[in-house]
Amino acid sequence: MPKLSSKIKILVNDAEAFFGARVMQVTAPGGKSRDSLRLHFSTHSVIATRRASEGRGRHERLILSRMGQDCDAVPMILGQRGAWYFQQDAGARRLSQAVQPATPEERLTLARKAIVGIFEVQRSANAAGLVEDMPRLGATQDWIGAVIDKPADLATAFRLVPPPLDRTALLRALDPPHRCFVKWDCRAGNAALDDDGHLRWFDFEYAGQRHGAEDFAWLIGDEVWPVAPRDMFDLISAIGADYGAGNEAYLDYLALYSAFHIVQRLSLIRSEVLSRGWLGMDRILRKDDVGASPLLAIRLCETGAWCAARHPLSAPLAPFFEAVGAVFAATMTAPDGVK
């Protein structure tokens, strides 16, 4: 094993004492700056996590410990030593990596696994009573208002005409009364497949309660996710029938929230490009980075336009997404890139 920092040496010693086995190697699946490391033993591997905020770590441990025994769509908590806690390794292949080279039919199979996994996570958490212990996400009118105002901000940045939105109606529509556990941050990079092809979702430090469809919006609005929104809605509708979801009202809210979530992602892509420039796909997938690629941004605009057109309150965003997509397309040949 290469030379380790003093912090990692302590972790390795603690892990070896806890598991009674020698750590053969330590790797950083998301990069050295991330919160989790993979500890390799001779027969298996585990994930060691230390959140920058102890409160976030305690929050995640509570969730996984309460539902890990009954939900195989999440990793089990194995124990804790000091600030580090150990989780079952969900798998070495992130969903974001596995879906890229897959055939169209294989992509639908992976999408089906991801959707079933999200529903299972929500069902298990709700059954365990976790929703009552979760913070309400996006609970204030200020938070919702900022979401509604983001298209105008992006339009200003790109010198486009802001889309005409019914702010009053949107403030009501984006604050639904339904309460469900949500994992949040259900990007494809936060799920993995093990050697048997079983999918698990990980990273629960931001979980809370809201409508429930937001988790699917995170996946649909993930710029690296290549499955068409129409296919995603069809799958969510069919699978959701077994979970008391997926009806028209549910899908309407999903379309509305997805459209505004995608604006957030496009704004984040722009910020990343201004900060670091365009990134290659290999780097994006390997580091689970923001998809700062013009091709990904253009495809995301197409997804946004489809979702927006499905709901009358977000319909004005459809031509706006087309205009933003044209801006990103122009940057592919412009020497100065995104401004």
Q: Which whole number is the average pLDDT over 202-216?
A: 97
Alpha helices in 128-180 (DSSP H): 141-157, 167-173
Q: Give the pLDDT confidence score for residue 5 in this predicted structure.
A: 79
CATH fold for domain 94-331 = Aminoglycoside 3'-phosphotransferase; Chain: A, domain 2 (3.90.1200)
For residue range 102-142, what is the model confidence (pLDDT) as tens digits? 999 999 999 999 999 999 999 999 999 999 999 999 999 99
User: Is the distance from CB of 233 to CB of 251 less than 8 angstroms?
Assistant: yes
Q: Where are the domains of the chain?
A: 6-91, 94-331
Angle subtended at Cα 95 by Cα 89 and Cα 101, rounded to the nearest 5 degrees? 130
As a whole number of angstroms, the distance between CA 247 and CA 97 comes to 31
- What local confidence, expressed as pLDDT, does residue 320 receive? 98
Residues in a beta bridge with 88: 46
pLDDT of 1 = 59
Average pLDDT over every residue of 247-273? 97
Q: How far apart are CA 146 and CA 129, in angstroms?
A: 31
In the predicted model, what is the mean pLDDT of residues 141-165? 97
Question: Looking at residues 265-277, what average pLDDT do you find?
Answer: 96
Q: Which CATH architecture has domain 6-91?
A: 2-Layer Sandwich (3.30)
Copy the structure tokens of residue 174: 């984006």
Residue 3 banded pLDDT, cuts 50, 70, 90: low
Q: What is the pTM of this model?
A: 0.95
**Res. 295: pLDDT tops 80:** yes
pLDDT band at 33 (very low <50, low <70, confident <90, very high): low
